[in-house]
Amino acid sequence: DTGVSQDPRHKITKRGQNVTFRCDPISEHNRLYWYRQTLGQGPEFLTYFQNEAQLEKSRLLSDRFSAERPKGSFSTLEIQRTEQGDSAMYLCASSLVLGRNEKLFFGSGTQLSVL
């Protein structure tokens, strides 16, 4: 078990560019989450997958954001036409849901800076 890994750790981009982040969850975990976190705040839910199906997206999620989880393994989060307000830490978490209990395991995040 190597934990949840995210790549890259840091990304600096210019406004208007597209960026893509990758998350590799713990291998037997069936659920994968994306969160966004800004300084001094708790993580904000973006979307989650149950295996390969994207089951929920935050109402706050702009249509510039898209996430995929092909074959229910790794996931990618793409942001198109980035804006300065997209600057944040993007966190991925995975879990193995057993009944009503769920424990999330987080990666170290991708820090995005939009100039």
Partner 1 sequence: DAKTTQPNSMESNEEEPVHLPCNHSTISGTDYIHWYRQLPSQGPEYVIHGLTSNVNNRMASLAIAEDRKSSTLILHRATLRDAAVYYCILRDERSNYQLIWGAGTKLIIKP
- Contact residues toward partner 1 (CB under 8 A) are 4, 40-45, 48, 56, 91, 93, 100-109
Least separation, in Å, of the C-beta of 81 and partner 1?
27
Comparison of 27 and 101: residue with beta carbon closer to partner 1: 101
Comparison of 97 and 115: residue with beta carbon closer to partner 1: 97
Structure tokens at 103: 């424990």
Phi/psi class of residue 110: alpha, beta or left (left: φ > 0; alpha: ψ in -120 to 50)?
Answer: beta
Q: Of 18, 67, 22, nearest to 46 (Cα)?
A: 67
Least separation, in Å, of the C-beta of 95 and partner 1?
9
Least separation, in Å, of the C-beta of 107 and partner 1?
5
Least separation, in Å, of the C-beta of 101 and partner 1?
7
Q: In 51-115, at which residue ranges do the beta strands (DSSP E only) sit?
A: 53-57, 65-68, 75-79, 88-95, 105-106, 110-114
Comparison of 67 and 109: residue with beta carbon closer to partner 1: 109
Structure tokens at 1: 């078990």
